């Protein structure tokens, strides 16, 4: 393996790791902005005129729909069944 190819591959792996790390931090620190960004990216991809693979990619990128009661839809709501007695 050529030294320059090895160095390029190393930089590519580091760049991917940095991007994934930045996305995780962004989702934790600004979840609403991350949701809006995912919607903005996915919306043009899911149009009817697009090929099937592109619509599938858009559906994969799109965030899960919010629950009907207005919460974020994380399915972690406390229904009151596990409350402790005072």
Which residues 6+ apart lie within 8 Å of 61 measured at CB? 38, 41, 42, 45
- pLDDT tens profile 65-84: 876 555 655 555 655 555 55
Domain-located, residue 57: yes
Domain-located, residue 47: yes
Domain-located, residue 79: no
- pLDDT tens profile 40-57: 999 999 999 999 999 999
Q: Give how many domains the chain has, as a whole number.
A: 1
What's the predicted TM-score (pTM) here?
0.62
Q: For residue 3, how many other CB atoms are within 10 A of its CB?
A: 7
Domain-located, residue 69: no
Dist CA 85 CA 83 (whole Å): 7
Domain range for 18: 3-61
């Amino acid at each position: 393996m050529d030294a320059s190819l090895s160095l390029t591959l190393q930089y590519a792996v580091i760049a991917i790791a940095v991007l994934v790390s930045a996305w995780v931090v962004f989702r934790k620190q600004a979840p609403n902005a991350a949701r809006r960004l995912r919607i903005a990216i996915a919306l043009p991809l899911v149009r009817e005129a697009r090929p099937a693979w592109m619509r599938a990619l858009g559906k994969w990128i799109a965030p899960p729909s919010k629950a009907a009661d207005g919460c974020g839809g994380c399915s972690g709501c406390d229904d009151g069944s596990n409350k402790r007695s005072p």
